[in-house]
Chain A
C-alpha cells in the first residue's frame, strides 16, 4: 500500500518534471523570440510526432530509440553487476580493497564520458564500445559507494555476527549486503543519466546507430524537427530512468534505513 503511494508520488514527480521542462522550454522559445527556423517548441514536437502522415519518421525514431535503450541498459546493468561483484570481493579480501579502492576513488576525478574516443579506439566501432562506456560510467560510482557502505555497517551488528561464529560469507549476506542496498541504488540513480549520455556519445562517435547518431546527423542535414524530437525523447527517458531508480532506492531505504527516507 505504502509502496503504491510512493510509486504514485514518483510518477507524479516525473510528470511534474516533464511539465516544468515543457513550460521553461516554451517560455524560452517564445520569450526570447528565438529563430523559428531553428527552434521548435514542445507543441511543435508533439504535432510532428502525432502527424498521421509521419509513419516512416516514427518508425525511424522508434528503431533508434530501441537501439539506444538497449545500449544504455546493457551498460548500466553490466556496470552495476561488475561493480557489485568487485565490491563483494573487496569486502572478503581487505588487502585487495586497500590496494585498488584508492584507484577507483581517484577515478571519480576523471571525466569518464569524455574518454569515449579512447574507448572507441580500444573496443572498436561495435556494440561493445557503447556498452563499455555506459558500463564504465556506472561501474566506478557504484563500486566506490557500495564498498564504503559495506564497510560502514554498525559495529554492533558485526560483533553480533562474530559472537555467533558466523562466517565472513554469512556476515556479508545477512548484514553487510542489505545495509549497502540504499547506497547501491543511490549510485545507480546518479550514474544513470551519465550512462545514457555515454551511450549516446558512443553511438555518435563509434557505431553510427541509435538516437545519438540520428540526432546529430539530423543537424547536419537540417532535419531539425527530427532532432528536436530526438532531444525530447532522450530527456524524457532520462528523467523516467532517474525516477524509476530513485523509487527503488526509496523502497530499499524504507526497508533498511527508514530514518533516511525523503523526497528526491
Chain B
C-alpha cells in the first residue's frame, strides 16, 4: 500500500517535470499543477451541470443494465435449457460496439434515452457473468438440504444461491460502475447538449488542453468513487467474503 502511494507520487513528480520541460512547447501534456489550477478556475459552475447530466445517464443505465443482468442470471440458472442462448445474447450485447449502435439509438430515441441505453448495454455482460459465477458457486450440501426439506428450485435460489452469489456479484458490479460511465460518455461524444463527454470534445477541439485534462480527471475521479463505493457496500454486505485486493 505504501509502495503504491510512493509510486503514484513518483509518477506525479515525473509528470510535472516532463510537463515543464519536454512538453513545454507542444503543450499537449501540461504539468499536473497547471491542470489543477485550470480545474479550480473553471470551478463548480462549469462542472456541476455537466457532471449532473453524465451521472444521471450513467446512473440510470447502471440501474437498468444491472437489473436486466441479475434477472437474466436468475432465469438462466433456473432454466438451464436457455442458458447457452441467453449467454450468447449477453455476449452479443458486450460485443456490440457502443459507438456503432450509438448513432442508431440517437436517431431512434430523443434526449438522454440513447445514452442511458448505451450505459445499460455496457454493464449487462460483466454483471451477468459475475452473478452467474456466484449463483453457481452455491454450496452443494446447502442446496441438497433445501431439497431434502421439500424446497423447490426457487426456494434454493432464495435461501442459498442468492447469498452465495453476493461476493462475485459485487465484483461484477464494481467493474460496472466505470463501464456505465464509459457508455454514457461515449454516447455524449456522438451528440448531446450537456455532459462531460460534450465538454471534453468541445475543449479538445478548441485546444483548451488544461481543461480537457481537467475534465478527464473529473471523469476518472467520478468513476473511481463509484468503483470504491460499490466495493465498500459489497464489503459491508458480505463480511464473510475473502478480501483479496483484485
Q: Mark A177-216, 1 if CB is under 8 A from B, else 0.
A: 0000000000000000100110011001100000010011
With both chains docked as a complex, state the minimum distance between the C-beta of A61 and any C-beta of chain B, in angstroms.
13
Residue count of chain B within 8 Å CB distance of chain A: 58
CA–CA, A212 and B85, complex, Å:
29
B11 contacts A103, C-beta separation under 8 Å: yes
A234 contacts B7, C-beta separation under 8 Å: no
CA–CA, A102 and B87, complex, Å:
32
**By DSSP majority rule, is chain A's interface helix, strand, loop, or mixed?**
helix
Q: How many inter-chain contacts with C-beta < 8 Å in the A-B complex?
A: 157
With both chains docked as a complex, state the minimum distance between the C-beta of A237 and any C-beta of chain B, in angstroms.
9
With both chains docked as a complex, state the minimum distance between the C-beta of B148 and any C-beta of chain A, in angstroms.
28
B13 at the interface (CB under 8 A from A): no
Q: Which of B38-46, B67-75, B137-145, B180-188 binds A? A: B180-188
A204 contacts B92, C-beta separation under 8 Å: no
Q: Closest B-chain residue to A34, C-beta based?
A: B108
What are 5 residue pairs bridging A and B, where the CB atoms are less than 8 Å apart in the complex?
A: A20-B92, A99-B3, A102-B7, A114-B182, A235-B97
Q: Chain A contact residues (Cβ within 8 angstroms of B): what range?
A: 35 or more
B7 contacts A235, C-beta separation under 8 Å: no
A153 at the interface (CB under 8 A from B): no
* A interface residue numbers (CB < 8 A to B): 13, 16-17, 20-21, 24, 34-35, 38-39, 95, 98-103, 105-106, 108-118, 120-122, 144, 148, 193, 196-197, 200-201, 204-205, 212, 215-216, 219, 224, 227-228, 230-231, 234-235, 238-239, 242, 263-264
**By DSSP majority rule, is chain B's interface helix, strand, loop, or mixed?**
helix
Q: Closest B-chain residue to A124, C-beta based?
A: B28
* B interface residue numbers (CB < 8 A to A): 1, 3-4, 6-8, 10-11, 28-29, 84-85, 87-89, 91-92, 94-101, 103-104, 106-108, 175, 177-179, 181-182, 185-186, 189-190, 197, 200-201, 204, 207, 209, 212-213, 216, 219-220, 223-224, 226-228, 245-246
- Known contacts A197-B98, A227-B103, A231-B104; is-contact A120 B4 (Cβ 8 Å): no
B224 contacts A110, C-beta separation under 8 Å: yes
Q: Closest B-chain residue to A113, C-beta based?
A: B182
